[in-house]
Copies of this chain bind each other. A is one copy, B any other.
Amino acid sequence: MYQPVGRGKLFEQIVEQIRERIVRGELRAGDRLPPERELALSFGASRTAVREALKTLAQMGLVEMAPGRGTVVTDNTSHAMRSSISLMMRVGRLRSPDYLVELREIIEPEIAALAAKRADAAEVAALREAIERMDGALHHSEAYIAADNDFHRTLALATRNPLILSLVDSIVDLLAEQRKLIFSAPGGPERGQVNHRALLEAAERRDVEAARAAMRAHLAQVRADAQAALDGTPASAAAIQPKG
């Protein structure tokens, strides 16, 4: 019927215009956009509206604002999704973290398969290095978990698919808790290393099926160890809950 006369809030129109220019590549990462006062003049709007628009873009991870330096375009696109998932898990009445485990059991075996197919020498080396770091940190939970994260992240990187990498990055934080449980399970790290090595060998041999199977075994073992740690040590299990 009629054209929507005011296409929504004013600041949204400004967001759209700037977003478009970034998406189209007219504005690239590192570029600095005009001061707020200038933008306000260009858009024919007040500085308030421009500012709300820039604030929104900053929250989306498209730009960064800093006093004295101005507003610059950034390529930090995965940051937003990362915090979103983290938030979602927390706000979702944190019961049933199984949601995350389930998603992980869906994607990680396929990630391993793709990684085995596509990993180059450098990535294989990175995997080996991560495993060695875990070997050397079997009694140092923080370093072990960090190396463990790197291992899985390198696999995601080897898929050559940035979407998958972002997805993995976004759930890494949430896995720290579970990995602590594994670490506290007797023999948990050692059992994990068996599967890690199997994954490394599969990647070296480009054995897609072996990689998938190894990851499945790994996740099953992780799930079992985590459950065992919860059952066996009610004290540490209780320590998980609060953390407000």
Contacts and interface: CB of A to CB of B under 8 A. Distances in A.
Given A24-B244, A106-B107, A99 B59 contact: no
Contact of A161 (B24, B25, B81, B103): B103
30 contacts: A20-B244, A22-B91, A23-B87, A23-B91, A25-B93, A52-B55, A55-B55, A55-B56, A56-B59, A59-B59, A59-B60, A60-B87, A61-B87, A75-B91, A77-B84, A78-B84, A78-B88, A80-B81, A81-B84, A85-B163, A88-B162, A89-B163, A92-B162, A99-B163, A100-B163, A102-B164, A103-B161, A106-B107, A106-B111, A107-B107
Given A52-B55, A56-B55, A59-B59, A88 B77 contact: yes
B91 A81 contact: no
Nearest to A59: B59
Contacts of A52: 51-52, 55
B89 A80 contact: no
Interface in A67-87: 75, 77-78, 80-81, 83-85, 87
B60 A162 contact: no
Is chain A's interface secondary structure helix, strand, loop, or mixed overall? Answer: helix
The 7 A-B residue pairs with the shortest CB-CB distance in the complex, in nearest-first order: A81-B84, A59-B59, A80-B84, A106-B110, A77-B88, A23-B90, A99-B163
A149 interface: no
Given A55-B52, A56-B55, A80-B80, A163 B88 contact: yes
Contacts of A77: 84, 87-88, 91-92
A124 interface: no
Nearest to A244: B24
A48 to B, nearest CB: 8
A62 interface: yes
Interface in A84-125: 84-85, 87-93, 99-100, 102-103, 106-107, 110-111, 114
Contacts of A163: 85, 88-89, 99-100, 102-103
A106 B106 contact: yes
